[in-house]
Amino acid sequence: MTTATPPEPSERAAALLSSLAADHVITAIHGQPAPGASIEWETPVPLTARPMLPAFPAHTLPSWAGQFTAALAEETQTPTDLAGCIVLAALSTAAGGRALVNVRGTWREPVNLFVVVAMPPGSRKSPVFRAIVAPLQAAEKALQAQTKPLITEAMLTQRVAQEAADKAARTAAHARGENADTALAEAQSAALAVEDIAVPVEPRLIADDITPEAAATLLAEQGGRLAVLSAEGGIFATLAGRYSGVANLDLFLKGHAGDLLIVDRRNRRERIDHAALTLGLAVQPDIVTEIAGSPGFRGKGLLGRILYSLPPSNVGFRRIDPPPIPESVSAAYATNLERLVLTMHGWDDPAQLVLSPEAGELFHQQRERTEPRLRPDAGDLSHIADWAAKFDGAVARIAGLLHLAAHVGDGWRRPISADTMTAAMELGEYFTTHALAAFDAMGQDPNVTAARTVHEWLSRTRPEHFTRRDAHRALQRHFKKAADLDPAVELLEQLGWIRREPDPTGTRGNPSPRYAVHPDLSTPV
C-alpha cells in the first residue's frame, strides 16, 4: 500500500486560498511593492468570519435562577452565558436521575445535561463556578449530616449481628448429634441477618477530577446519580486515556442516556440500572478543538451529547467596580437550589413529568421544524446530525429542569406548561447556534483560525502599519513565538488584507517585517 506524498506548503496555501476565495477572483498578487511604486489596493478576499452568537437568554430561567444569573454575570463582569449554562448544570445536579419527562408513548427523557462553556484564561470562570456550586455543596453537607447517625447506627447493628453470627458459627462447628442441624440453621440465619443490614453511604452530589472507574463506583454507591462539575477540562484528557492509555467513554455515554451500566471487576461487580450523570464544565476554547481529535469522542457519540456555549471574551472591556449581587437575590438562589436538592434526593423511583396539551403541541411543532434541518442535501444541521438528532430530546430535558425549578416543592404534581416549553425551545435554539460554531471550530484549519485572530486584532486597533513584533506583543496569549505568526500573516497577505513593505535601507541586523494594512481595516470607524 502506497502512501500519498503530502502536498508542498505552496500547494496547501493555494488550495486554502482557493477555498476561501470561493466566488471571488483575485486579480493581483499581493507582495512587496517595488521601491517608490504606488500600488492600489485590490478588494480583499473575505476571511471566513465568526458569526455573532446569541447571548444566553437568562430570562428563560425561573425568576430566582434568572435574576441570580444576571446579577452574578454583572458582579463578575462575565458573559451571562457562563453563569447561565452552569446554573443549568446545577439544576441538573439537583434533579438529574430523579425525574423523567414523558414526551409521548415510550419516549422518556431524563433531566440530566452535559454542558460545556468555552472561555479563555483570565475570564473569571472559577469565581462564577464557586458562587453557583456553593449551595450544592451546602446541600451535600446537610445530607451527610442527616445520614451520619444512620450510618453509625447501621454499622453498630451490623457489628453486633456479626458477633452473633460468629458465635452461632462456632456453636454450629462444635455441635454434634441432634443439635447439629439446629445449630447450623441458626448460624445460617445469623449470617443472612448480617447481609441484610445495609449501611447507608455518605451522600455525594459532585465530583471534579475523577477517573471513569472511580466515577462508576460513586455512581453505584449514589443510586446512579452524580455530577462532574469543574472550571477546567481535565476530565476530557482522563476520558481519552491519560492514565490508562485507553479511551473509556462508556460511563459517560450511558450516564447521559440513562442506560444500564454493569461493571465487572476482579473483586467487585457494580450494576447501575439507570445511570444519570451530569457534566458541567468551563474550559478553554482550545479544549473544544482538541476533543474533536480524541479517539472515539465523535464516532461513539460523546460530542453529540454536549450542549456547547462559546461566549465572546469581554476581557479589556470590564467595569472596575460593578455592583455586587443583591443579598436577597443570592439568598433566594441558595434557598431554592438547596431545597430542590433536598426535596428530590429521596426519590428512588424517578418522578414522572408530563406535558400539558399546549406544551405537547409546541413540542410537536418544533420536531416538525427540526426534521428537515437534518436532510443531507439541504439541511443546515446535516453536518452535525450526531448532535442535532439529540436536539429535541435536549429541549425536553431542559423543559423538565425549568419546570422543577419553577415549582420546587411540587413540580411532579403539575404538567409542564406551554410557557415553560417555549422557554426551553428558546434555550434550544441558543444551544443550536453555539453547537454550529463549536463544530465549525473543531474542524477549522489552524492557519485560518490564526489569521482570524490577527484580523480581529487589526479590526479592533485599526493601525495603518504594523510589524510582526507589534502583533506578537499584542497577541502573545495566542502565539508563543513571533515566528508562530508567519502562517497567519502569510495568509492575510495572500488574501489582500495586508502588504509587506520593503525593509528600510541601511538597517542593520534582521528588522521585524513591516506591513501596510488594507484601508478597510485601518480607516477609523
Kindly state whether residue 174 falls inside one of the protein's structural domains.
Answer: no
Q: Which amino acid, one-letter code, is at 451?
A: A
- In sequence order, the β-bridge partners of residue 499 are 516
Q: CA nearest 85: which of 62, 101, 69, 109?
A: 69
30 and 71 share one domain: no
| DSSP-based three-state secondary structure for 211 | coil
312 and 394 share one domain: yes
Cβ atoms of 300 and 135 within 8 Å: the answer is no
Cβ atoms of 95 and 404 within 8 Å: the answer is yes
338 and 356 share one domain: yes
431 and 498 share one domain: no
119 and 224 share one domain: yes
**Which of 424, 440, 456 delimits the end of a domain?**
440
411 and 315 share one domain: yes
322 and 250 share one domain: yes
367 and 498 share one domain: no
**Which of 392, 415, 440 delimits the end of a domain?**
440
Cβ atoms of 452 and 497 within 8 Å: the answer is no
Domain hosting residue 516, numbered range:
10-17+26-47+445-522
Task: Tell me what pLDDT residue 509 has.
Answer: 66
Task: Tell me what pLDDT residue 306 has.
Answer: 95
> What CATH number corresponds to the domain at position 254?
3.40.50
Cβ atoms of 358 and 398 within 8 Å: the answer is no
CB atoms within 10 A of CB 7: 11
**Which of 414, 440, 466 delimits the end of a domain?**
440
Tell me how far apart the alpha carbons of residues 372 and 376 are, in angstroms, rounded to a whole number: 9
Instruction: State the cell numbers at 79.
Output: 458573559
371 and 316 share one domain: yes
512 and 411 share one domain: no
391 and 492 share one domain: no
Whole-model pTM: value is 0.77
How far out from the chain centre does Cα 230 lie? 10
Kindly state whether residue 187 falls inside one of the protein's structural domains.
Answer: no
Q: CA nearest 217: which of 152, 265, 274?
A: 265
Kindly state whether residue 141 falls inside one of the protein's structural domains.
Answer: no
87 and 35 share one domain: no
> What CATH number corresponds to the domain at position 471?
1.10.10.10
Cα atoms in the 13 Å half-sphere on the side-chain side of 44: 18
pLDDT per residue rounded down to tens, the chain (525 residues): 444 443 443 444 444 445 444 434 333 333 444 444 456 898 888 775 566 899 999 999 999 999 999 999 999 999 999 999 999 999 999 998 899 999 999 999 999 999 999 998 889 999 999 999 999 999 999 999 999 999 999 999 999 999 999 999 999 898 888 788 898 999 999 999 988 998 888 999 999 878 888 888 888 889 889 999 998 878 888 887 665 665 678 888 999 998 888 877 666 677 888 889 999 999 988 888 888 878 788 888 899 999 999 998 888 889 999 999 999 999 999 999 999 999 999 888 899 999 999 999 999 999 999 999 999 877 889 889 999 999 999 999 999 999 999 999 899 999 999 999 999 999 999 999 999 989 888 876 677 778 888 998 999 999 999 999 999 999 998 898 988 999 899 989 988 899 999 887 666 667 889 999 999 888 886
Quote the strand ranges of 395-509, DSSP E. Answer: 465-467, 498-500
Task: Tell me what pLDDT residue 373 has.
Answer: 93
Q: CA nearest 76: which of 313, 325, 280, 310?
A: 325
Task: Tell me what pLDDT residue 28 has.
Answer: 35
Tell me how far apart the alpha carbons of residues 51 and 525 are, in angstroms, rounded to a whole number: 20
- The domain total for the chain is 2
CB atoms within 10 A of CB 420: 27
